[in-house]
């Protein structure tokens, strides 16, 4: 791969960098069998349009410690479409089994992170409730299906053990892989969450980044990102230029993970140690199962991207100060067009 460079497209930075030779030199470029069915990708920058008669918004409300705030009522919520308040036609506090897809960065490019990635995924499984459904996929240059949705956590653990980090390609095409996974999930009904376990490093072409951006802005899949690059932040291998390049790559990866989470009403976590990982999984277990579901009717049928905002007024429980509340929800939707 050519010498790294930082590319900017106005939304997030995509970083291409030369991976350490000690990582890629000893592994062949073999492809793991069993891929997700991939649909044709939209034209770069194309807006993803969905005909909707109503818009559903899942809202997660937590306090400063990440604890889900229960007991909020319909009249406390206000939903805005392009800054104009809309009537809430349906409301329900939802606590139901989650549908969670673990998407794990794998392959020889991150072979040295395999233990951290698998530990992260295993800890996640252990924190899920019995009724939660989990699927598993991995990605390098493209996504590979490992396990379809199941409530059998032992089966899921066995599937994790089959992931081989010494096979695949040196590319880490995060944006294009995530875009294809979103296409696959679009055929599955119900509330869906992706837990992305990744360094955030992305070698996808800019067209794939633009396509993903459009899907995230209009989609309803919440994405929770867990960075696994913490153990490498203090790496001292290579000359000064190589170390600086690696740190810039991870900084851009952090920016990408945060942008993905923000666009979907999710969260990004950057744990530096085992305790921080455990705290992140504790919060994720709540988010997967708990949310307030709001529905409103699109005010116009203009085929345009509309921004969604949700606010909460008086009546917050005494133990949770309103100033410390965090409200997460999808960023927008594409209105139907007449």
Q: Are 165 and 183 in contact (CB under 8 A)?
A: no
Q: Are 310 and 40 in contact (CB under 8 A)?
A: no
- Could you tell me which of 289, 291, 331 has the C-alpha nearest to residue 310? 331
Name the residue ranges covered by the structural domains of the chain: 55-93+292-334, 97-287
Q: Are 156 and 134 in contact (CB under 8 A)?
A: yes
> Which residues make beta-bridge pairs with 302?
337
Alpha-carbon distance of 18 to 51, in angstroms, equals 43
- Could you tell me which of 183, 148, 279, 186 has the C-alpha nearest to residue 226? 279
- The predicted model gives 154-169 an average pLDDT of 79
Q: What is the pLDDT of residues 95-120, one digit of tens each?
A: 677 788 999 988 765 666 677 767 77
**Confidence label for 11 from pLDDT (cuts 50, 70 and 90):** very low
Beta strands 193-198 and 99-105: pairing type?
A: parallel
Alpha-carbon distance of 221 to 180, in angstroms, equals 13
Comparison of pLDDT for 124 and 23, the residue scoring more: 124
Best CATH choice for the domain 97-287 from the list 2.30.30.110, 3.40.50.410, 1.10.10.10, 3.40.190.10: 3.40.50.410
| CA 60 vs CA 54, 67, 97, 245: distances in Å | 20, 10, 15, 37
Say whether pLDDT at 306 is over 80.
yes
Q: Are 179 and 152 in contact (CB under 8 A)?
A: no
Say whether pLDDT at 235 is over 70.
no
- Could you tell me which of 209, 134, 130 has the C-alpha nearest to residue 174? 209
């Amino acid at each position: 791969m050519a010498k790294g460079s930082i590319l900017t497209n106005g939304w997030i930075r995509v970083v291409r960098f030369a991976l350490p030779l000690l990582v890629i030199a000893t592994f062949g470029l073999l492809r793991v069998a069993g891929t997700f069915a991939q649909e044709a990708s939209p034209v770069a920058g194309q807006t993803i349009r969905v005909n909707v008669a109503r818009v559903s918004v899942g809202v997660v409300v937590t306090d400063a410690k990440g604890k889900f705030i229960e007991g909020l009522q319909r009249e406390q919520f206000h939903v805005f479409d392009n800054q104009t308040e809309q009537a809430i036609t349906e409301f329900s506090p939802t606590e139901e089994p989650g549908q969670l897809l673990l998407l794990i960065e794998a392959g020889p490019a991150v072979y040295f992170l395999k233990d951290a990635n698998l530990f992260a995924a295993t800890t996640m499984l252990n924190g899920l409730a019995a009724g939660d459904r989990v699927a598993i996929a991995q990605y390098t240059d493209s996504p590979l299906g490992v396990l379809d949705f199941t409530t059998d956590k032992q089966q899921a653990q066995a599937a994790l053990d089959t992931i081989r980090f010494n096979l695949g390609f040196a590319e880490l095409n995060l944006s294009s892989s995530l875009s294809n996974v979103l296409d696959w999930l679009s055929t599955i009904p119900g509330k869906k969450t992706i837990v992305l376990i990744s360094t955030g490093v992305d070698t996808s072409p800019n067209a794939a980044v633009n396509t993903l951006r459009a899907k995230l802005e209009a989609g309803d899949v919440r994405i929770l990102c867990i960075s696994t690059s913490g153990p490498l932040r203090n790496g001292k291998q290579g000359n000064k230029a190589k170390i600086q390049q690696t740190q810039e790559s991870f900084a851009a990866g952090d920016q990408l993970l945060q942008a993905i989470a923000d666009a979907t009403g999710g969260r990004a976590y950057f744990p530096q140690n085992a305790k921080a990982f455990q705290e992140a999984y504790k919060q994720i277990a709540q988010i997967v199962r708990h949310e307030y579901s709001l529905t409103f009717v699109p005010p116009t049928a203009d085929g345009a991207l509309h921004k969604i905002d949700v606010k909460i007024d008086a009546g917050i429980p005494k133990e949770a100060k309103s100033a410390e509340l965090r409200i997460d929800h999808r960023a927008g939707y594409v209105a139907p067009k007449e």
